[in-house]
Amino acid sequence: MTLEAKERRLGWGLVAPALVWTGAFFVLPFVAMLALSFAHMEGRTVVHGFGAGNYVRAFTDWTMVKALVNSLEITVLVTVVSVVLAYPLAAIIAFRVPARWQRLALLMAVLPFWTSYVVRSYSWLLVLGQNGVVNKTLLGLGLIAEPLEIASTRTATVIGFVHFFVMLLTLTIYANLIQLSPNYMRAAQDLGAGRWQTFRHVVLPLTLPGVVTGAFLTFVLCIGDYITPQILGGNAELTLPQLIMLQMGRSGNFPLASALSVVLMGVVTLAYFLSARWLRLDRL
Amino acid sequence: MVLTSRLPLTAVALLALASPSFGQELNALVWCDHTDPSLVAPFEEKFGVKVNLKEYEGTAAGMAILDQSQPGDWDVLVIDAVDVGRAVEAGKLAEIPADQLPTADFFPELVMPANNTVDGKTYAVTEKFGYNTISYDKTKVDPADMQDMAALTGGKYDGRIGIYDYYLPVLGLVALGQGVNTADINAETLPALKEPLMKLRAASKQVSDVVSAQTALATGEVDIVVGGGEWLTAVLAADNPNLDWTIPKQGGLRWAQSIGVVAGTTQPDLALEFVKYIVSPEGQARLATASCYWGMPANAKAGDALTPEQKTVLRWDEQPEFLKRAQLYPIPDAATDTAMQDMWTEMLNQ
């Protein structure tokens, strides 16, 4: 056996576990789900076949379309707000906090990750409620006369999501910022650029891959999340994952749930292609 | 050709992982109240077995789990009493000897032979019941208003109402509000319920699950929960005695859960012993006050094992009157069920 053949065999041997894992736990289930999405229900029985009825319904039934629109609106809003909040936080940690304290600062930033996602969501419900911390504080300060309706609204869902994703984005953006050589900024300033110009023309373009990577992860995790809208949104409006859960858990309509899941996956794939130009997963 | 329902492979794999093992273990597919350790502990101790409990929500989900399991995987099933016939029809429940069940001690309305027996054979026994009606904070709403369902959509309580997120009882309540008996909900009568349902939704602040509904009522986020009842407020009673519930003049819904032995169990005797333990006065008292939610025991003799305080919270003495005014859950056929769920989904996304 030639050296090249040996290396090729070794390469396949090393990559095989990952291929098997992906095949068994992603490709096969996905193919099964795709096949199921073309089936339909007769009474309470799944009838296998090849029909596009579930997809037609997904894009013509107003309830389904609205769920998709709700998901997209919430996800885009959460992603934008999270980036806007996480970038300065990451920059402060990377450039303003002394190196020896940066690890502690990052730890503080991700500390909320240590609590259960569900518990955190219910905690937000208590914070944002009519008798919660926010309303009591605002009432106590005399800033409002009546409690604000925050819990069980889209605002509550967005706040819960942003709290979670700012942590994630801070990490990804920080990882990019810390790799940025200070010489770039020094060179820009030597050439007469002000702070804003340096940021706009040097720092931001160089850290854009990290921002887009974090934003993409935020988009993917947010649009597929079911817990936060369920708990904090108070079912005031349905998102696509909630609709999928309703079809599975309550209706037992697995074909429609599968079709909606494929649609959700299509949206994520589209987001990937839109951001692929800047996407640098190796920057994580 | 009609093929049997099959879940995607991942779901099968997950179910396989969730499926119990054999041996000196009893495997029960249950509702969350059975997962209270104090409920199964005496049985485990007496018979020297381990009881594995898997919680599920909604008959469709329970049936799906059974569909994907092998015969013998499960020994005991807790199911909505109105769905026992459906489970029997699907071959999921085994016959149990009626003469070994203490139904003579039950509240008469809770024996429910029309639901628990099929063709004269007993397949399940009622274990717990309660009401889906109206829960409220009596310091924030006028209790007299809660006697009339029309008050909910009259404008006075707009934005202060929570709706329990379960289509069957709430649509049942809406039907009662329209003068339609729950047994008469079908393809013809259902469309007329849409407008009042949407009106109720417009007056409400949220539609939420058990925990969220409890949280909302306890924190003052909402003052009324439609579809609530003792199961919602009883666990909060100690901390907040202002929470109350009532059955309005139009009536309320009676929920009931049954327990049976799963067809194909490899240990039918042990499974039957578990069923007998659950419907015994001791088991009933523990089940009635289980941590997930409280509810009335079907066996009236459980009253001897409950404290006066517990009986007060359960409204023990008022049961005869409540039972008269409550109707059973709707039992829709498959098409009506789908239509009801579609209406519910539309309401959620209103």
Same domain, yes or no: B196 and B86: no
Give B316→chain A minimum CA distance, Å.
Answer: 32
Give the C-alpha separation, B208 to B227, whole Å. 10
Chain B's closest residue to A36, CA to CA, is B8
CB of A42 closer than 8 Å to CB of B2 = yes
Contacts of A43 in chain B (CB under 8 A): 334-335
Same domain, yes or no: B227 and B250: yes
Contacts of A71 in chain B (CB under 8 A): none
Interface test with A, best of B5, B12, B194, B331 (most A CBs within 10 A): B5
Contacts of A63 in chain B (CB under 8 A): 342, 345-346, 349
Give the C-alpha separation, A82 to A87, whole Å. 8
Of the CA atoms within 13 Å of residue A42, those in its CB half-sphere come to 9
Is A31 a domain residue? Answer: no
Nearest by CB to A45, from B5, B337, B342: name it: B5
pLDDT tens, position by position, B128-171: 999 999 999 999 999 999 999 999 999 999 999 999 999 999 99
CB of B245 closer than 8 Å to CB of B230 = yes
Closest among B148, B135, B310, B315 to B229, alpha carbons compared: B135
In terms of Cβ atoms closer than 10 Å to its own Cβ (0-12, 13-18, 19+), residue A93 is buried
Same domain, yes or no: B64 and B75: yes
Q: Which domain holds residue B241?
A: 130-254+327-348
Say yes or no for a CB contact (<8 Å) between B349 and A251: no
- In this structure, what token pair is assigned to residue B197? 């349902």
| One-letter identity of residue B334 | A
Same domain, yes or no: B120 and B264: yes
Which value does ipTM take for this structure? 0.72
CB of B199 closer than 8 Å to CB of B152 = no
pLDDT tens, position by position, B320-335: 999 999 999 998 888 8
Say yes or no for a CB contact (<8 Å) between A251 and B10: no
Question: CA B13 from chain center: how many Å?
Answer: 29
Hey, what long-range contacts does B151-158 have (CB within 8 A, 24 or more apart)?
A: B152/B200, B152/B203, B152/B224, B152/B226, B153/B196, B153/B199, B153/B200, B153/B202, B153/B203, B155/B203, B157/B203, B157/B223, B157/B224, B158/B202, B158/B203
Chain B's closest residue to A66, CA to CA, is B349
Closest among A199, A196, A223 to A211, alpha carbons compared: A199
Say yes or no for a CB contact (<8 Å) between A131 and B159: no
Is A49 a domain residue? Answer: no
Is A220 a domain residue? Answer: yes
Same domain, yes or no: B240 and B339: yes
Same domain, yes or no: B230 and B264: no
Same domain, yes or no: B66 and B207: no
Same domain, yes or no: B195 and B339: yes
Give the C-alpha separation, B302 to B284, whole Å. 6
| CA A38-A266-A70 angle, 5° bins | 105
Chain A's closest residue to B11, CA to CA, is A29
CB of B290 closer than 8 Å to CB of B36 = yes
Give me the tens of pLDDT residue by residue for chain A, a chain 284 residues long.
688 888 999 999 999 999 999 999 999 999 999 999 999 998 778 899 999 999 999 999 999 999 999 999 999 999 999 999 999 999 999 999 998 899 898 888 888 778 888 888 889 988 998 888 999 999 999 999 988 989 889 999 999 999 999 988 999 999 989 999 989 999 999 999 998 999 999 999 999 988 999 999 999 999 999 989 988 988 888 999 999 998 887 777 899 999 999 999 999 999 999 888 776 655 55
Q: Which domain holds residue A148?
A: 60-283
Give the C-alpha separation, B61 to B46, whole Å. 31
Say yes or no for a CB contact (<8 Å) between B220 and A66: no
pLDDT band at B317 (very low <50, low <70, confident <90, very high): very high
Give the C-alpha separation, B104 to B233, whole Å. 30
Say yes or no for a CB contact (<8 Å) between A152 and B208: yes
pLDDT band at B16 (very low <50, low <70, confident <90, very high): very low
User: Counting one residue from A and one from B, how many pairs have CB atoms under 8 Å apart?
Assistant: 117
Nearest by CB to A42, from B2, B167, B348: name it: B2
pLDDT tens, position by position, B274-307: 999 999 999 999 999 998 889 999 999 999 999 9
Give the C-alpha separation, A256 to A122, whole Å. 30
Same domain, yes or no: B152 and B238: yes
Give the C-alpha separation, B233 to B204, whole Å. 19
Same domain, yes or no: B164 and B307: no
pLDDT of residue A280: 61
Query: Looking at residue B180, what DSSP letter applies?
Result: -
Radius of gyration of chain A (CA): 23
Mean pLDDT of chain B: 90
pLDDT tens, position by position, B54-111: 998 778 778 888 988 899 999 999 999 999 999 999 999 999 999 999 999 999 999 9
Q: Report the pLDDT averaged over residues B193-215.
A: 92
Say yes or no for a CB contact (<8 Å) between B219 and A126: yes
pLDDT tens, position by position, A218-244: 999 999 999 899 889 888 889 999 999
Say yes or no for a CB contact (<8 Å) between A33 and B341: no
Contacts of B215 in chain A (CB under 8 A): 122, 125-126
Say yes or no for a CB contact (<8 Å) between A252 and B334: no
Question: Does the CA dihedral B40-B46-B52-B57 come out positive or negative?
Answer: negative
Total structural domains within chain A = 1
Question: Does the CA dihedral B17-B22-B25-B30 come out positive or negative?
Answer: positive
Same domain, yes or no: B31 and B122: yes
Say yes or no for a CB contact (<8 Å) between B60 and A243: no
pLDDT of residue A107: 87
Strand partners, B180: none
Nearest by CB to A234, from B6, B60, B212: name it: B212
Is A144 a domain residue? Answer: yes
pLDDT of residue B11: 40
Is B16 a domain residue? Answer: no
Say yes or no for a CB contact (<8 Å) between B5 and A46: yes
Say yes or no for a CB contact (<8 Å) between B209 and A230: yes
pLDDT of residue B186: 95
Q: Are strands B76-80 and B121-122 parallel, antiparallel or unpaired?
A: unpaired
Total structural domains within chain B = 2
Contacts of A130 in chain B (CB under 8 A): 219-221
Interface test with B, best of A41, A46, A232 (most B CBs within 10 A): A46
Interface test with A, best of B12, B349, B350 (most A CBs within 10 A): B349
SS3 content of chain B, % helix, strand, coil (to 5): 45, 20, 35
Q: What CATH number corresponds to the domain at position A130?
A: 1.10.3720.10
Same domain, yes or no: B91 and B67: yes
Contacts of A67 in chain B (CB under 8 A): 349
* B22: pLDDT strictly greater than 60: no
Say yes or no for a CB contact (<8 Å) between A47 and B3: yes
Of the CA atoms within 13 Å of residue A266, those in its CB half-sphere come to 12
Give the C-alpha separation, B259 to B62, whole Å. 13
Is B4 a domain residue? Answer: no
Contacts of A28 in chain B (CB under 8 A): 9
Q: Report the pLDDT averaged over residues B180-197.
A: 96
Say yes or no for a CB contact (<8 Å) between B8 and A32: yes
Q: What CATH number corresponds to the domain at position B155?
A: 3.40.190.10
Give the C-alpha separation, B152 to B202, whole Å. 11
CB of A55 closer than 8 Å to CB of A37 = yes
3-state secondary structure at position A41: strand
Give A112→chain B minimum CA distance, Å.
Answer: 22
In terms of Cβ atoms closer than 10 Å to its own Cβ (0-12, 13-18, 19+), residue A37 is buried
Is B3 a domain residue? Answer: no
